[in-house]
């Protein structure tokens, strides 16, 4: 048994340890400074990243007779790997054409890299462009740079998430069965995210290379927006290495799915990655089977 004097001597040590534990940020509290800097709440991802959404509900975009929901193809975002001064940031900003130059200038002046600028869909009205960005350093400073740039756009202020009906009028269970993956409803759109195997910064199998969280733009995204009578407009992007590009194009085309863009999103990744965007509006389950045929040509997680 400890003597009274030894116990008193240990009290400051014990108290200090408990105080350190109490003061140590954990979970989402660690991201408060980043949230304050970017001016909106984020969401913790299962792989450790933290993601902020910039849905462009102000852009009333149509493709044919389909009114494109933000969750289908207008959902800008940025994500951070860590909340500290050694963070990696990646993002995809959805912009109107007249917003491109001011946003690009603001980001570059703040030290944020522009890694790609291109279309994702075809024949949309008005035209929409996608600016991919990246940065390394202090997460709060990078977040502040994004806030400053997005203030030059007409992107709406963040609003509380709505809770739309889960029954979308498409057979989501059959879609999940066809793709072998679970999905979720977000903003009236059924979304499925599929991670790849062995994608790392600096090389796909280089020992010790830091792994980029899949939620920071390295997961294949498949989105289904119901268009009536069991049909859905689909879009998203496949994350591919070079040898997968043409087999996936062939699989999509043979299943009535149009390839709308093929390009890079990053600058220095190894292995080199390509991002393939697509579009179709047909029976949702039929399209899911077509997407599965394309997925089977990739090294995606089952």
CA-based nearest residue to 67, from 79, 75, 59:
59
Average pLDDT over residues 232-251: 97
Q: What's the confidence (pLDDT) of residue 268?
A: 87
The tens digit of pLDDT for each residue in 51-61 reads 999 999 999 99
pLDDT of residue 262: 98
Q: What is the 3-state secondary structure (H, E, C) of the chain?
A: CCCHHHHHHHHHHHHHHHHHHHHCCCHHHHHHHHHHHHCCCCEECCCCCEEEEEECCCCCCEECCEECCHHHHCEEEEEECCCCCCEEEEEEEEEEHHHHHHHHHHHHHCCCEEEEEECCCCCEECCEEEEEEEEEECHHHHHHHHHHHHCCCCCCCCCCCCCCCCCCCCCHHHHHHHHCCCCEEECCEEEEEEEECCCCCCCCCCCCCCCCCHHHCCEEEEEEEEEECCEEEEEEEEEEEHHHHHHHHHHHHHCCCEEEEEECCCCCCCCCEEEEEEEEEEEHHHHHHHHHHHHCCCCECC
Q: What is the mean pLDDT of residues 79-101?
A: 97
Contacts of 19 (CB under 8 A, 6+ apart): none
Residue 6 scores a pLDDT above 80: no
**Which one is predicted more confidently, 29 or 236?**
236
How far apart are alpha carbons 183 and 215 in whole angstroms?
Answer: 14
What is the model's pTM? 0.86
Please, what is the average pLDDT of the chain? 88
> In the prediction, which pLDDT does 199 show?
57
CB 274 within 8 A of CB 240: yes
Average pLDDT (291-302) is 92
pLDDT tens readout for residues 156-212: 998 876 666 678 999 999 999 999 999 999 999 999 999 987 654 444 434 444 678
For 11, 101, 297, 300, the CA distances from 198, given in Å and listed in that order, are: 49, 36, 16, 9
Domains observed in the chain:
27-157 (3.30.70), 164-302 (3.30.70)
């Amino acid at each position: 048994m400890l003597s009274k004097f030894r116990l008193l001597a240990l009290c400051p040590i014990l108290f200090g340890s408990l105080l350190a534990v109490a003061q140590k940020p954990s979970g989402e509290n660690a991201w408060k400074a980043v949230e304050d800097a970017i001016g909106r709440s984020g969401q913790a991802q299962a792989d450790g990243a933290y993601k902020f959404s910039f849905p462009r509900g102000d852009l009333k975009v149509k493709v044919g007779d389909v009114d494109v929901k933000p969750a289908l193809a207008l959902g800008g975002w940025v994500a951070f790997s860590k909340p500290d001064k050694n963070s990696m940031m990646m993002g995809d900003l959805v912009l109107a054409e007249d917003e491109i130059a001011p946003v690009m200038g603001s980001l570059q002046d703040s030290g944020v890299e522009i890694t790609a600028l291109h279309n994702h869909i075809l024949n949309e009205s008005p035209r929409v462009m996608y600016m991919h960005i990246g940065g390394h350093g202090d997460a709060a400073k990078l977040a502040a740079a994004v806030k400053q740039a997005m203030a030059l756009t007409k992107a709406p202020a963040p609003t509380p998430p709505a809770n739309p009906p889960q029954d979308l009028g498409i057979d989501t269970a059959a879609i999940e069965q066809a793709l072998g993956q679970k999905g979720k409803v977000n903003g009236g759109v059924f979304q499925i995210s599929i991670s790849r195997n062995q994608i790392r910064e600096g090389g796909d199998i280089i020992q010790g290379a830091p792994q980029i969280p899949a939620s920071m733009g390295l997961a294949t995204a498949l989105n289904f927006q119901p268009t009536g009578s069991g049909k859905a407009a689909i879009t998203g992007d496949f994350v591919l290495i070079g040898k997968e590009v043409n087999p996936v194009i062939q699989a999509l085309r043979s299943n009535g799915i149009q390839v709308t863009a093929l390009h890079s999103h990053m600058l220095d990744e190894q292995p080199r990655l390509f991002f393939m965007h697509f579009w179709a509006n047909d029976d949702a389950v039929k399209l899911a089977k077509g997407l599965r045929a394309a997925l089977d040509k990739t090294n995606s997680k089952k």
